[in-house]
Amino acid sequence: MNTTPRPYREDFPHRVQIVEVGTRDGFQAVEGWIPTDTKAQILKALIAAGLRHFEATSFVSPRAVPQLRDGAGLLAELGVPEGVTLSALVPNLRGAEAAIAAGAGGLVVFVSASESHNLKNLNRSRGESLAALQAISDRAAEARMPVQGAIATAFGCPFEGDVPVAAVLKIAQAYHAIGIRRVTLGDTTGMATPSLVRQRVQALNAELPDMEVALHFHNTRGLGLANVMAGLDAGVWIYESSVGGLGGCPFAPGATGNICTEDLVYLLHECGIETGVDLDALCAVARQVEQVIGRPLPGQVMKAGQRLQTAPMESVRTACG
C-alpha cells in the first residue's frame, strides 16, 4: 500500500531546505561543557541523517557564550564534507576574521529589530551594528565567502513588546545595500503568530522582491509549527530548527527552545514536502542529544514515533471490568 501523503496544498513549496542550528543556538544555552569531539559526532550523525545545511557554531566572545569557544576546533575536526554547508554566526569583524580563518562555509551576521535586545545581545546600538556590516561584507567578499543576514526579535521583543514592521524592513534594507540576498526573520522569544508571519513576509517580499526569506521560530508559546504552516502559505521554503527542540537566547528573558527539527521534518513529510532527511535516523540523533545534555528534550516525534508506527497488541494490557 502506498502511504506517501498527497501534497497538502499544491501551491506549497515542493521541497524545503532545513538549516540545523542545534549545535549553535541549541548548545549555547547548555551550561555544562560539551566536549568538541561530542559536538562533532552529533554533527556527523545529523549529516548522515540527510541534513546538509548547518549554522554549526559561532565566533562570539567566549565570555559571552563559553559553550561555543571551540568553534575553530569544531570546524577543524569536521572538515567540510562535500555538499554540506557549515556556517558560523559572527557578531563583528573580529568574529568574521576568525570564522574565515577556521574555514567556515559561510557567515551569518545578525542585528535585532529592537534597540533593547540589540543592546543586551550585542552590547551595542542597532546603529553601531548596522555601521559595522560593510567591513564584514568586504572581508567576506575578499575571502569569497557567502554572507547571510538574520534579524532577531523580528516578531516582538521581550523588553519592548511589539516591534514595528518598519524596524524589520530597515535592517533588511541595510543587508540588501551591502549585497546580502538572504535574510532570516528570527522569533527570538516565541512571539510570532501566523498572522504576524504572513504580514512580515509579505512586507519583505513587497519591499525587497529579490531578497530570499528564511524563518527561525521558537516554540515558547506552542505556535512554532503553526507558524511554519503560515510560512509555507506565504511561499517560504527555508526554515531553521534545532535537533530535539534545543535552544533559547541567553540574553532574552523567557526564551525557550527552537522548533524541533524532527517535528518539523515530520510535518513537512506529512504535507507531501521533500526534505531529503531520514526521519528515523534523525530521531535517533535527538535521543543521543538527550543523553549528552542529561535532560529530556521537548521533541514529540522522537517519543511518539511516526504516524503509521505500530506496536504489538500484547505490549499493552487489556481493559478489565
Q: 209 burial class (0-12, 13-18, 19+ CB within 10 angstroms)? A: exposed
C-alpha 107/C-alpha 132 separation (Å) is 14
Using CA atoms, how far residue 146 sits from 96, 236, 253, in Å, is: 11, 20, 32
249 is catalytic: yes
What is the separation of C-alpha 244 from the centre of its chain, rounded to a whole number of angstroms? 12
Show the beta-strand stretches assigned E in the chain: 17-20, 53-58, 85-89, 106-112, 147-152, 182-186, 212-216, 238-241
Contact (Cβ atoms closer than 8 angstroms) between residue 250 and residue 65: yes
C-alpha 139/C-alpha 269 separation (Å) is 39
Contact (Cβ atoms closer than 8 angstroms) between residue 228 and residue 239: yes
C-alpha 300/C-alpha 302 separation (Å) is 6
Nearest CA among 258, 311, 250 for reference residue 289: 258
Instruction: Spot the catalytic one: 157, 249, 271, 283.
Output: 249
Nearest CA among 39, 148, 51 for reference residue 90: 148
Q: What is the dihedral of CA 102, 91, 262, 46, to 10 degrees?
A: 0
Type of residue found at 238: I
Which residues are part of the catalytic machinery?
Answer: 249
